[in-house]
Chains A and B, each alone.
Chain A
Amino acid sequence: MLINLVRFQRQVGFVFSKCRNRDTWLPSVNHSKEYSAAALERKKFYQDVSISQGEDGLYEINLDRKKLKTPAGKLFTVPNEALAIAVATEWDMQKDTLKFYTMHLTTLCNTALDNPTQRDKGQIIAAGLKFLETDTICYRVEEPPGLVELQKNEWDPVLDWIEKRYNVLIGSSSNIMGPQIPKETKDTFHQHLRSYNFWALTGLEFIITQLKSLVLSFGLVDRHLTVEQAVLLSRLEEEYQIQRWGNVEWAHDYDMYELRSRTAAGALFVHLSSESSTVKHKLLQD
């Protein structure tokens, strides 16, 4: 319940923050419907979606003849063609109403462009690293035996992988205080996170907060895990309970697909916004 509320607030916050400019695409909040899904939707007002490259080399999105803008009124620009096309496709896929809660890549771009919380790289890194202390896969249960076994079999390989990959010590614990994470481990991750640019960090922090795990997020961003695997590992206990007590479509499946689409958007966003060197690399090989 609380998680849903926080998610909702985030969505509304991103979509409906300051609307000033006349040809921005944002509606004013309809207070009577503030807490229903209708408040997050708007009638579709365009037919064609296209992209164009501005003078500075950044890509823009055009809805019919109008240029897309961010909630704060800035021009919506993204650094490469792939991301521009992915965002344009999100807008193109909307049917009669614009459903902003299904447009995760647009939301992430808006967040990176507007930076509504006014944070710098250091603050984002600190916020992401904080999840390491309470990382999902470091907290183990002592009963029931089936779940203990499952956590050991599924989570330990990922922990082993990250400990080898970054040459750090994390460990797991069934204590309420969690494992003692050495300072060197945090320093290593801090160093590593500094190498990402602002856009990629925005995406990475988004993934971390979705999966509630720094380890799984690194596994995903380093391409050790697929989105489906990362989401499954993040929801391991829930999956165990589903196997035991049955699946409820409107709660379990709903949550899982939402988590998957958010995580996939985050992963794609990180990869696309830290990619420029890779693209050149590929062109050379052709």
Chain B
Amino acid sequence: MAALSSPLRVCRGILKELRSSKGPEYKQTLAYNFVLDQFRKNQVTNERHCRARREALHASHSYLCLLASTRHHLTLHKLFHGKGEREPEQVARLVGLQLPTQPGGKGWEK
């Protein structure tokens, strides 16, 4: 069995992710209520070896990973890949080169 962190940490992690994306009104979201509800429901069986609880913990762990990774990915995407591809001229200029030009055009322009 994989090492899962404690339910409380996962729960707080998920709420933190929700808050970082929705701002202060994150408490009104569907997910906030649902997540808290699920964690409370599963708390009852905390001390017993309970399969359902372990499954729920694994799922919540995956959800936390989904939210956090998506946020990280989006940050990097905006930083490095968000603008699409550069034009050939821009790429050439980046390394101090120029594309060859031909006086009077290349013959196939309209």
B-contacting residues of A (Cβ < 8 Å)? 33, 35-38, 49-51, 81-82, 85-86, 88-89, 92-93, 99, 102, 104-105, 223-229, 249-250, 253-254, 257-258, 260-261, 264-265, 267-268, 271-272, 278, 281-282, 285-286
Question: Which B residues are in CB contact (< 8 Å) with A254?
Answer: 73, 76-77, 80-81
Ordered nearest first, which 8 A-B pairs have the shortest CB separation? A36-B84, A264-B66, A261-B69, A260-B69, A257-B73, A250-B80, A264-B65, A89-B31
Write the nearest CB–CB distance from A122 to chain B, whole angstroms: 28
Q: Are A264 and B79 in contact (CB under 8 A)?
A: no
Contact B31 A253 (CB under 8 A): no
Main SS of the interface on chain B? helix
CA distance A282 to B80 in the complex (A): 44
Q: State which size class the interface on B falls in.
A: 35 or more
Which of B39-47, B89-97, B99-107 forms contacts with chain A?
B39-47
Contact partner, B30, options A50, A228, A271, Cβ 8 Å:
A50
Q: Are A82 and B34 in contact (CB under 8 A)?
A: yes
Contacts of B31 in A (CB 8 A): 85-86, 88-89, 92
Q: How far is the CB of B54 from chain A (nearest CB, A)?
A: 7
Which of B1, B38, B62, B76 has most chain A Cβ within 10 Å?
Answer: B62
List 12 interface pairs A-B (beta carbons < 8 Å), by A numbering: A51-B30, A88-B30, A89-B18, A92-B22, A99-B74, A102-B73, A226-B4, A227-B66, A253-B72, A254-B81, A260-B69, A268-B66
A contact residues around B72 at 8 Å (CB): 253, 257
Q: Which residue in B18, B59, B74 is a CB contact (below 8 Å) of A272? A: B59
**Contact assessment for A261 and B30 in the assembled complex, using a CB-CB cutoff below 8 Å:** no
Residue contact B73 to A37, C-beta cutoff 8 Å: no
A250 and B79 in contact, given A37-B84, A38-B84 (Cβ under 8 angstroms) = yes
Given A88-B30, A93-B22, A257-B70, 19 other A-B contacts at CB below 8 A?
A33-B84, A37-B84, A85-B34, A89-B18, A89-B30, A92-B22, A102-B74, A226-B2, A229-B2, A250-B79, A253-B72, A253-B76, A260-B69, A264-B66, A267-B62, A271-B58, A282-B52, A285-B44, A285-B45
